[in-house]
Structure 1
């Protein structure tokens, strides 16, 4: 393990930056970066990756170090967030990204902390979103002693089905045949999603541009057909296109007919599967903009530089799941067994936006429920170590029209002590739970004007609740005030 420490000052934070290269096999190396604050709070924080990894999450590094954590990031065992060549003929790199990189980061990082500060961290934490959420849950399954508390955003568990869903949904559109009578253009999809929100938003008695829980609703796609008046004449749907919409919002089944992945959420941006063309010499040709599917299947699944998703089917999905490259689908796919983590007193804290366009929001409640089944725990027992917070109107990890800022790592952090407490900051809520036993029953989310967090103006706040509770307007107070939202059981309006 090689370590290089560089001095760096970021006002008002003073810290040192360490770059580590950890050799994990004869053919693979993990690069790890450490941000070590002078004003250390005695805690260790490891962070995860996004997409197919390959890049250190600097938002998470700055976020953790700014709160006083000795904070570490990893490249997941390879360099590059797009492309496939770093997986071609490199089984050890596939393994690192699949399940080893965070464990390596935890072990190496703890050694650095002990050497640099002269003592071990008092508590060890993890934070990651999307792929990083998958990595956190996998840590609880495979390496239960690494962390005392694990923060998981937009849990990309059952990762191969998450990624494969984009190819399946694109083909339900009729893609790559852009002239198919069932194909729906990106402009039409934008209008369809806008209409979904307009129709479903008021059902919670608050018209705020948000579908609180899209899983509670269904829309007959025939209402988007020409002649209904919902969509204008240039965007309305033919009968074949209306059937396409119906197919899009069905869950995914494998080749045996078993449901393997929940339905895409109503009101979420569809571009992860509907933005599937590029213009060459003035002509549109089929190409998925969601490159994670192409890159991973090409490099890690089929080990072929020429493979293309143009004919992607459930057989391609099933092949990858059965292969399970590097154990990437252990978390929430083949296993929900976090019994050892539970037994040692570890805490799992998850958050997920209800408008997540990348990881459909139902995957988190499914993970919660299947964990309870795997461990044979009651709801009260689950809440003793695993809590999930849904955030209406939040997209993938952050952003969206909802009160989405709950202290998760972003480009900047809200200014002011009022946002750095256990009610407004989900990482600090996890710390309070792990160290003082105060389980979070609710969080306060904030929507800043223009999504400017640093020195921004508060536009609205809302109480978010531990699943299966959800926040409901009390029908009396100001809907932009957190105290006007109360926790009720999910599904009760």
Structure 2
């Protein structure tokens, strides 16, 4: 993998794939005790004593103490991370013939709880989701993550999947279960007691991992955070390639960006005030009745300010979604308001097709190094992907009876302006849960859609909130949040200046302006089921 320059536009795009920034505070925590429950051991000596130990089917290859402020080097693909507090770094490998590599951090001041951290894309390591793991450990959580059974990058070519079903199964779901068992076993041994609560968090590919944990391994975690989940990966990548073929109708020049900007401006002009505030955000895309014909070029002219007949047709298809295989209902289309992200994700050379969907079909489905997008057939290739990988990789099972029976809580969040994974995919899964589980879903699962928010963060809308604190409070108090307050900070950094805040409401409610308060404050908005189209007629 090429080294990333964090200052390049591409790197900034890639970084938007990793979880939304969490605003987190620190705790005053108890000192770790030895496994016999006696007086505390010397933390550093206890840490180093774990090297070479075999626990829960894995061998600890290294264990050493790291002091607050020290640099933790080479965590999978990450060069270094600054330790948020004094901790014991543990690295382990499984001993059952798999290639699962585990990274675990055990804070000296432990809060008694355990966290599993997901990755992203077709990941082979922590990648840049380290911010979530760092901030969780800073709160005192014992945290663990893995390479999901293979080495590689977030956008790995995926060659490792060819002819290795064991690695595909590890990636699909098994690795995280193995890691959860290992992590909780280490915690129990190291601190002398089992964690009081266990949580999992992940966004994008990590969101898929989160859903899979709830579906296949309901006893692993008490609370699960699934951000922008790529749950139905086979459908998502099929739709991604279908979208790429539609985007060919737009010019492959700088004018593509200009036309998309013009389209986005027209959408905003028509649908910005659905929530009662003009803020550059389409707050509820399903209520946006923008007509593409209004931006069609007239008198045979083709400028950057209008769309040709072919471009209008392509945009209509992108909004409507792809009809995959023998499915009667199309996969959710791209929401109105998400247009500015299209060039990065839906074009043939964009992130979605080139670095994710094409490798998926080339190596996971076809097993052919010569397979190309020109060979993609939206019916036969989709059907083959579902038949071969559906139960292994696609986290679409609506039966969460095991998870709900043990009082598990599932928090799903998704940005409405996500151009990589349409928010409609999360709505579709949530609806399937309601159909399958009925009212049992009400106390255990919540879906929150974030207006103006891109893929795992970014965009003009507010996305910063402490998701781990929300799930912890929900699990501990058994009361689902009626709303979550999210904030927009300058430069999207939680340590920056707060620009404005909004409530996000449990689906299908939306937040609407009360008509008289300060529009920059969340207290001026109310959650309501009234989603009447308030866009310009």
Specify if TM > 0.5.
yes
Inter-partner Cα distance in structure 2 for 1:134 and 1:9: 33
For residues 208-287 of structure 1, what are the structure 2 equivalents within 5 Å? 208-227=279-298, 233-256=303-326, 258-268=328-338, 269-277=341-349
Inter-partner Cα distance in structure 2 for 1:99 and 1:366: 21
Number of the residue aligned with 1:413: none
Of the three residues 294, 297, 300, the one matched with 2:361 is 297
For residues 86-235 of structure 1, what are the structure 2 equivalents within 5 Å? 86-174=160-248, 185-227=256-298, 233-235=303-305
Shift of 1:133: 1.3
Cα pair 2:205 2:230 within 8 Å, conserved: yes
Number of the residue aligned with 1:78: 150
TM-score (norm 2): 0.80
Shift of 1:145: 0.6
Unaligned runs of 5+ in 1: 279-286, 407-424
Tell me which protein shows more strand as a share of its residues.
1
> Please, what is the CA RMSD of the aligned residues?
2.4
Partner of 1:249, secondary structure, is: helix
Inter-partner Cα distance in structure 2 for 1:249 and 1:130: 21
Inter-partner Cα distance in structure 1 for 2:316 and 2:88: 54
Inter-partner Cα distance in structure 1 for 2:387 and 2:251: 29
Q: How many equivalent residue pairs?
A: 453
Of the three residues 421, 426, 443, the one matched with 1:359 is 421
Of the three residues 66, 72, 79, the one matched with 1:8 is 66
Number of the residue aligned with 1:22: 94
Inter-partner Cα distance in structure 1 for 2:223 and 2:249: 43
Confirm whether residue 339 of structure 1 aligns to residue 413 of structure 2: no
Q: Which moved more, 1:394-403 or 1:217-226?
A: 217-226
In 2 relative to 1, CA 468–447 (structure 1 residues): closer, same or farther, beyond 3 Å? same
Cα pair 1:161 1:260 within 8 Å, conserved: no
Shift of 1:31: 0.9
Cα shift readout 1:337-358 (whole Å, capped 9, x = no counterpart):
1111111111111111111111
The runs of at least 4 aligned residues of structure 1 exceeding 6 Å deviation read 175-179
Number of the residue aligned with 1:324: 389
Partner of 1:191, secondary structure, is: helix
Partner of 1:165, secondary structure, is: helix
Cα shift readout 1:207-262 (whole Å, capped 9, x = no counterpart):
11110011222332222212399x98334222222112112211221233512511
Confirm whether residue 43 of structure 1 aligns to residue 83 of structure 2: no
Inter-partner Cα distance in structure 2 for 1:137 and 1:486: 29
Inter-partner Cα distance in structure 1 for 2:274 and 2:390: 43
Cα pair 1:185 1:274 within 8 Å, conserved: no
Of the three residues 451, 466, 472, the one matched with 1:431 is 472
Inter-partner Cα distance in structure 2 for 1:23 and 1:192: 54
Number of the residue aligned with 2:123: 53
Partner of 2:175, secondary structure, is: helix
In 2 relative to 1, CA 363–242 (structure 1 residues): closer, same or farther, beyond 3 Å? same
